[in-house]
A and B are shown apart, each in its own frame.
Chain A
Amino acid sequence: MKKDNTIYMYIKDNTLDIDMIVDDFSGYLYTIIQNAGNFPKEDIEEMISDTYFILWKNQYKLDVDKKISPYLFGIVKNLIKQRYHIFYKNDENIEDYEENLIINEKLDVTVESNELTRKIVQLLSEMKNEEKDIFYEFYFYSRKIKEIAIEYKLSESTVKSKLYRTRNKIRKELLKGGYSLNG
């Protein structure tokens, strides 16, 4: 962990800057999970990404003036407990985080349907690179069509059409696989 800033320091364009959080806290979370038990490397990586995902999902419930690490610690502790159904043991001082763990109780700490995520990731991996990249630009970086068009040297309509295609392909494949699409 390079620094322990407040949530406020990780907000960019009114949303959490996940890239920056990944850079700053992955080593810290890796050590916590590694100390908690003999997890395979892939499990550790999965739990860390789940931690960031849960933090992102709850971003509007976070107190921007509080430090970010207790939130991350609370989430990761919960994930470890859920995985092994045992209480967490390591060298960290849990009391330091007690207050923030109460905050964490308000958070939704579930990760829904990893299977659906895997299915969509698989579908995306089968698409052309440009379509996939545009999908991430739109849905992860929340970039506007106009910005994507400039970045990729495409017209706005082409970007929209590519997004539309990708969405349709995913919808259609998911529909075939038994996912209801209209909520």
Chain B
Amino acid sequence: MDKESLERIRQMTKDKITIANFQNDEGMKENKNNKIYSIRKIAVVACCMLILTTGAVFAKEIMKYFFGNEILDKAAESGYVGEINSDVVEEETILENNNTGIVIDDVDVSVKFNEFIMDDFTLSTNMTIEFDEKIKEVFDLDKLQFIAIEDLIVIDNEDIILFSSASKPDFDRLCKKYNLNHTFAVWDEKQYNCSHSRNLLSHDKERNIVNYNITANPADKLFPKSKELTFIFSKIKLEKYEEYNGQDIENGEYLKSEAITLTGDWNFKIEVPEKMYNRTNIEYKVISVSNKDFEVYEASVSDTGFAFGTIISNVEGEPFEYKFNEINKQFQAGQITLEECQKRTQEIFDSEEFKKYEENAPKEDGILKMNNKEYIKTFDYSVNEQIIDNITHITNSKGKKFMVSNLFYKEEFIDKDKYDFFNTFEMSKSDATDKLTVTIIYNGEPVYIELEKVK
């Protein structure tokens, strides 16, 4: 058994135990009778079937856009979408079966970018990937369940990396190849730190075609108003799971997984539509706030969400947290070294002020007691899309309610007793009425903020 194998076993075991502990904590189980699931699942399957059985052109007539995400579909339907129709980039790739080690040379893979959405909080693109017949020798596309572009880097016309899914070796390799002067995982003004989701939209076994979506959301700053984007990548991974001995795959037991990686060299340049780089949001002003400690600094709506930010004063918290936050931010932005970060953190721990605080603070097993306080409630197990009164939400004047979408969020102390709350909500321009009510569940109680559209 080789070293890589040992590390994979270690990681798989770690995953299983971590997730079992998490499930135990959450009291989580799979429930196949869940209504939301059934409806969503049927809708998704129906859409995929339309694409598969009627061909891409007909499918587009039936459902023009499909990003695999409700709010993006809605934005696209209302016109906030770029039709890219990029050139098809065909590459002769090397295919490697990750299980068997079988390698096949010269497997043609064509990639084409289709629809595209970009605003402050979202970068999302649909693409079509077509494989040549050789893929059938080693992989059954009908059973495809997961696809990932493993080393995608998206860079704009100002040389800012907006998104990267590459590991360090891949990142360094691609940066060297394309003369990019960036450091892996340094989130400075030239690089964004993003979370992302990858959606397999549909696949057509007969024509060896896969439709795929990748959506990225920034974590540290809003996306810029870029005019041109370049997508570079070299690895596409396909994965399938199969059942053993006729056992039901839905039960999830003893699934056999198989993966192949296709290695090539893709490079796409995309012109960002003017409506996206010249995007404007609709601003709202505050009419009333039911709690005087709330100072709203952001209330605006875009095509993909409502952004709301407020500073809350007189919040009882841990008095040193904001200092640690500040040091951590500087470190993540590459402004200070790890040594400097450690030194400054230690200085806080060693300060007389901290020692004094520590002496009097409540303790548990000899260490400072955890502050488990949930200041703003944005999620609850019992909440569904119809009943969201117990969590933070927005209500429009038609009575429709919208939950937080977490496309971009901040919840942190910025001073001893000042708390910054910022989040996006699942409400786009089309639902934004002249008057809105934001309900923040703060320390278990609702705080109402009445807003009015600025005209």
Chain A: residues with Cβ within 8 Å of the partner, total of 74
Residue of A82, A83, A157, A181 contacting most chain B CB atoms (<10 Å): A157
Contact B5 A45 (CB under 8 A): yes
Q: Which of B173-225 contact A (CB under 8 A)?
A: 185, 193, 195-198, 219
**27 CB < 8 A contacts A-B:** A18-B17, A22-B13, A23-B6, A42-B258, A45-B5, A45-B9, A48-B9, A56-B13, A57-B20, A113-B30, A113-B253, A114-B254, A140-B14, A140-B17, A144-B367, A157-B321, A158-B324, A165-B406, A168-B378, A170-B22, A171-B379, A172-B406, A176-B36, A179-B28, A181-B27, A181-B381, A183-B28
Contact B253 A30 (CB under 8 A): no
Q: Which of B10-57 contact A (CB under 8 A)?
A: 10, 12-23, 25-32, 34, 36-38, 40-41
Contact A82 B29 (CB under 8 A): no
Contact B370 A40 (CB under 8 A): no
Known: A171-B381, A172-B379, A178-B37. 12 other contacts (CB 8 A): A18-B17, A23-B6, A30-B1, A30-B5, A115-B252, A120-B15, A121-B15, A126-B195, A128-B219, A155-B324, A160-B372, A181-B26
CB nearest to B219 among chain A residues: A128
Q: Is B360 an interface residue (CB 8 A)?
A: no
Chain A residues, CB < 8 A from B381 = 171, 181-182
Question: Which of B's residues lie within 8 Å of A, judged by CB?
Answer: 1, 5-6, 8-10, 12-23, 25-32, 34, 36-38, 40-41, 98-100, 146, 185, 193, 195-198, 219, 241, 244-245, 249-258, 317-318, 320-321, 323-325, 327-328, 331, 338, 341-342, 345, 367-368, 370-372, 374, 378-379, 381-382, 406, 409, 411-413
Q: Is A46 an interface residue (CB 8 A)?
A: yes
Contact A161 B412 (CB under 8 A): yes
In the assembled complex, the CB of B370 is this many whole angstroms from the nearest CB of chain A, namely: 6
Given contacts A45-B8, A126-B195, A158-B412, are A121 and B367 in contact (CB under 8 A)? no
Contact B368 A127 (CB under 8 A): no
Contact A182 B27 (CB under 8 A): yes
In the assembled complex, the CB of B264 is this many whole angstroms from the nearest CB of chain A, namely: 22
CB nearest to B372 among chain A residues: A160
In the assembled complex, the CB of A149 is this many whole angstroms from the nearest CB of chain B, namely: 8
Question: Could you say which of A26, A111, A171, A176 contacts B9, with CB atoms under 8 Å apart?
Answer: A26
CB nearest to A43 among chain B residues: B256
Q: Mark A44-57, 1 if CB is under 8 A from B, else 0.
A: 01101110110011
| 3 interchain residue pairs of minimum CB distance | A178-B37, A115-B252, A180-B31
In the assembled complex, the CB of B14 is this many whole angstroms from the nearest CB of chain A, namely: 5
Q: Is A61 an interface residue (CB 8 A)?
A: no
CA distance A68 to B370 in the complex (A): 37
Chain B residues, CB < 8 A from A84 = 245
Question: Could you say which of A127, A128, A168 contacts B379, with CB atoms under 8 Å apart?
Answer: A168
In the assembled complex, the CB of B32 is this many whole angstroms from the nearest CB of chain A, namely: 7
Q: Is A19 an interface residue (CB 8 A)?
A: yes
Contact B36 A49 (CB under 8 A): no
Q: Is A129 an interface residue (CB 8 A)?
A: yes
Contact B256 A126 (CB under 8 A): no
Chain A residues, CB < 8 A from B41 = 178
CB nearest to A172 among chain B residues: B379
In the assembled complex, the CB of A163 is this many whole angstroms from the nearest CB of chain B, namely: 10
CA distance A164 to B381 in the complex (A): 14
Contact A56 B370 (CB under 8 A): no
In the assembled complex, the CB of A37 is this many whole angstroms from the nearest CB of chain B, namely: 13
Given contacts A45-B8, A48-B9, A156-B370, are A40 and B99 in contact (CB under 8 A)? yes
Question: Could you say which of A49, A128, A145, A156 contacts B12, with CB atoms under 8 Å apart?
Answer: A49
CB nearest to A49 among chain B residues: B12
CB nearest to A144 among chain B residues: B367
In the assembled complex, the CB of A144 is this many whole angstroms from the nearest CB of chain B, namely: 7
In the assembled complex, the CB of A10 is this many whole angstroms from the nearest CB of chain B, namely: 14
Contact A135 B18 (CB under 8 A): yes
Contact B9 A22 (CB under 8 A): yes
In the assembled complex, the CB of B389 is this many whole angstroms from the nearest CB of chain A, namely: 18
Q: Is A112 an interface residue (CB 8 A)?
A: yes
Q: Mark A119-142, 1 if CB is under 8 A from B, else 0.
A: 011100011110000011001101
Q: Is A153 an interface residue (CB 8 A)?
A: yes
Contact B342 A175 (CB under 8 A): no
Chain A residues, CB < 8 A from B413 = 157
In the assembled complex, the CB of B138 is this many whole angstroms from the nearest CB of chain A, namely: 13
In the assembled complex, the CB of B420 is this many whole angstroms from the nearest CB of chain A, namely: 12
Chain A residues, CB < 8 A from B244 = 83
In the assembled complex, the CB of A168 is this many whole angstroms from the nearest CB of chain B, namely: 5
Given contacts A41-B99, A128-B219, A140-B14, are A153 and B6 in contact (CB under 8 A)? no
Given contacts A41-B99, A126-B195, A170-B22, are A56 and B17 in contact (CB under 8 A)? yes
Contact A53 B13 (CB under 8 A): yes
Contact A26 B1 (CB under 8 A): yes
Question: Could you say which of B12, B98, B255 contacts A115, with CB atoms under 8 Å apart?
Answer: B255
Contact B252 A116 (CB under 8 A): yes
Given contacts A121-B15, A155-B321, are A126 and B328 in contact (CB under 8 A)? no
In the assembled complex, the CB of A34 is this many whole angstroms from the nearest CB of chain B, namely: 9
Contact A42 B368 (CB under 8 A): no
In the assembled complex, the CB of A83 is this many whole angstroms from the nearest CB of chain B, namely: 6
In the assembled complex, the CB of A103 is this many whole angstroms from the nearest CB of chain B, namely: 21
Chain A residues, CB < 8 A from B18 = 135-136, 139-140
Chain B residues, CB < 8 A from A172 = 379, 406
Residue of B13, B34, B378 contacting most chain A CB atoms (<10 Å): B13
Chain B residues, CB < 8 A from A136 = 14, 18
CA distance A27 to B327 in the complex (A): 44
Chain B residues, CB < 8 A from A110 = 253
Chain A residues, CB < 8 A from B16 = 49-50, 53, 111, 117
Q: Is A174 an interface residue (CB 8 A)?
A: yes
